[in-house]
């Protein structure tokens, strides 16, 4: 028996559970209730242009914020000793073991109008001071049910996915390369921009992909922290498969378009990193 035939069960599995479902999405997107071929689903979709725009906008902001926080954190972490590195890595992974819905729900308690932040600020007399200075009449800061809260939820949930790949790549940079640059007269800023940053790009690219893709397609975070005020693509797709708006044909069409846009975005991003080695996922 040749060893390559060991892959046969899984190849069949992939055909049935990966390829066929995607073909079905395509067929449903081009289909309708009476079983005929149509492009109507794509025409109907144009009325949801705003949902597409706000999804991509919020996901882009969240990805940028994750990068702005995640990159320095990864870099600083790579300069720590082995003990701190080990503990910090565990500490970054550990929250992922708690259900993300629960952690997001906990943010509701923190951000609500009568939530922890507002209560603490109120008890400290902050609002009286604030109202006195600015002449306003605030009893609380409205934080929940805003697009900002949704972005916060995304950043919170996906930050580890940005830190882990960037850290892995920076940590693997050979210290001799940095020493060589220093010996040749580079100062610390030059070392960073000419050596460390270019070498860390593959990690940045996979971090961006790992944050952007779930952020653009999330549906629970926007429901919990956006309070239904900001409808995102994920919510829109979910509505077509469960609930009152039941229309799997439109849902498939939206999924298909989202998949294609994401694919194009990722191809463009990966172009930037060409020649930097393949982006790695873990």
Among positions 2-31, residues that touch other proteins (CB under 8 A) are 2-11, 13-14, 16-22, 24-25, 28
* In contact, 49 and 141? CB cutoff 8 Å: no
Contact pattern for other proteins over residues 146 through 165, marking x by CB under 8 A: ----------x--xx-----
For the record, the structure tokens of 182 come out as 């220093």
- Rounded to whole angstroms, the Cα distance separating 6 from 1 reads 9
Closer residue to other proteins, CB minimum distance, 5 or 134 = 5
Q: How far is the CB of 73 from other proteins (least distance, A)?
A: 5
Instruction: Please identify which residue in the block is written with the tokens 């900002």.
Output: 148
Our finding on whether 264 is near other proteins (CB under 8 A) is no
DSSP reduced 3-state for 30: coil
State the first-to-last Cα distance of the chain, in angstroms, to the nearest integer: 34
Closer residue to other proteins, CB minimum distance, 33 or 135 = 33
Our finding on whether 223 is near other proteins (CB under 8 A) is yes
* In contact, 124 and 191? CB cutoff 8 Å: no
- Rounded to whole angstroms, the Cα distance separating 75 from 199 reads 12
Among 92-100, 164-172, 176-184, 196-204, which window interacts with other proteins (CB under 8 A)? 92-100
Q: Which of 39, 53, 68, 91 binds other proteins (CB under 8 A)?
A: 91
CB atoms within 10 A of CB 257: 17
Q: Which of 39, 53, 68, 106 binds other proteins (CB under 8 A)?
A: 106
Among positions 166-205, residues that touch other proteins (CB under 8 A) are none
């Amino acid at each position: 028996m040749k060893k390559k035939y060991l892959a046969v069960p899984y190849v069949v599995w992939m055909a049935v559970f990966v390829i066929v479902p995607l073909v079905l999405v395509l067929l449903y997107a081009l289909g309708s209730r009476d079983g005929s071929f149509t492009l109507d689903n794509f025409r109907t979709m144009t009325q949801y242009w705003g949902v597409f725009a706000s999804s991509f906008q919020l996901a882009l902001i969240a990805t940028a914020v994750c990068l702005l926080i995640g990159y320095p954190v990864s870099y600083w972490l790579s300069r720590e000793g082995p003990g701190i590195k080990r503990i910090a890595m565990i500490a970054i992974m550990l929250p992922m073991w708690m259900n993300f819905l629960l952690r997001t729900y906990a943010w509701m308690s923190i951000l609500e109008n009568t939530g922890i932040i507002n209560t603490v600020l109120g008890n400290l007399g902050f609002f009286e001071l604030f109202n006195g200075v600015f002449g306003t009449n605030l009893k609380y800061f409205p934080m929940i049910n805003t697009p900002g809260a949704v972005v916060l939820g995304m950043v919170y949930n996906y930050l580890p996915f940005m830190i882990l790949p960037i850290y892995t790549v920076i940590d693997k940079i050979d210290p001799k390369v940095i020493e060589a640059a220093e010996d040749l007269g580079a100062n610390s800023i030059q070392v960073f921009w000419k050596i460390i940053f270019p070498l860390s790009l593959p990690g940045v690219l996979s971090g961006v992909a790992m944050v952007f893709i779930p952020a653009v397609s999330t549906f629970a975070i926007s429901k919990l922290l956006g309070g239904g005020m900001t409808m995102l693509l994920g919510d829109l797709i979910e509505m077509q498969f469960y609930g009152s708006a039941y229309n799997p044909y439109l849902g498939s069409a939206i999924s298909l378009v989202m998949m294609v846009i994401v694919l194009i975005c990722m191809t463009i991003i990966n172009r930037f990193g060409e020649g930097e080695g393949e982006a790695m996922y873990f």
